[in-house]
Amino acid sequence: MAIKSIKYLGILLLLFLIAFEGAFGLIQIAGSSFPRLIQGIFFIFLFKEFIKDNNQNKVLLYINTLFFIFIILLGLKLLTVTFVQGQYEFNIIIDFFRVISIIIYIYLTYYLLKQDLNNLNIILLLNSFIMLVAFFQSNVTPLTDLAWDVKNNYFPMNTTGYVDNITFRKRVTGVYSTSIPLAYVLTTNMILTMYMFVKTKLNLYVIYFIFLGAIAVFSLTRSVFLSWIVLSIYLTYFIFFKLTIFKKILLVIFIIFTTFYTMNIYIENQDKFDRITSVDGASAQGRLPLAITGLYTIIKHPFGVSKADYNEAKKEMYAIYHVSNILQFTSHNGFINVGFKYTLLGIFIFIYFMYYIRRILRKSSVSKEMRLFFLVGVMAYFANSLFHNAFIVIDDFYGLILLSIIAYEYSLVEQGKEKNEKN
Per-residue pLDDT tens digits for 307-348: 989 999 999 999 998 888 899 889 999 999 999 999 999 999
99: in domain: no
Instruction: Write down the pLDDT at residue 324.
Output: 87
In whole angstroms, what is the distance from residue 376 CA to residue 231 CA?
7
Q: Which of 52-61, 75-84, 151-160 has the lowest mean pLDDT?
A: 151-160
In whole angstroms, what is the distance from residue 51 CA to residue 103 CA?
12
365: in domain: no
In whole angstroms, what is the distance from residue 62 CA to residue 65 CA?
5
136: in domain: yes
In whole angstroms, what is the distance from residue 263 CA to residue 210 CA?
15
Judge contact between 150 and 136, C-beta under 8 A: no
DSSP state of 7: H
Domain range holding 248?
120-278
Per-chain mean pLDDT for the chain: 88
pLDDT interval class at 270 (50, 70, 90) = low
In whole angstroms, what is the distance from residue 152 CA to residue 137 CA?
12
372: in domain: no
In whole angstroms, what is the distance from residue 45 CA to residue 33 CA?
19
261: in domain: yes
In whole angstroms, what is the distance from residue 68 CA to residue 86 CA?
25
349: in domain: no
Instruction: Write down the pLDDT at residue 346.
Output: 97
pLDDT interval class at 164 (50, 70, 90) = very low
pTM > 0.85: yes or no: yes
Q: What is the pLDDT of residues 168-201, one digit of tens each?
A: 567 899 999 899 999 999 999 999 999 999 999 9
416: in domain: no
Q: Mean pLDDT: which of 19-28, 79-88, 380-389 is highest? A: 380-389
In whole angstroms, what is the distance from residue 20 CA to residue 136 CA?
18
In whole angstroms, what is the distance from residue 192 CA to residue 121 CA?
9
Q: How many domains does the chain have?
A: 1
157: in domain: yes
Own/partner contacts of 270-278, CB < 8 Å, gap of 24 or more, are: 272/139, 272/140, 272/170, 273/217, 273/220, 275/220, 275/222, 276/217, 276/220, 276/222, 276/225, 277/222
In whole angstroms, what is the distance from residue 290 CA to residue 331 CA?
5
Instruction: Write down the pLDDT at residue 396.
Output: 96
Is the per-residue pLDDT at 36 higher than 70?
yes
In whole angstroms, what is the distance from residue 327 CA to residue 316 CA?
10
- DSSP-assigned beta bridge partners for residue 33: 28
In whole angstroms, what is the distance from residue 399 CA to residue 354 CA?
15
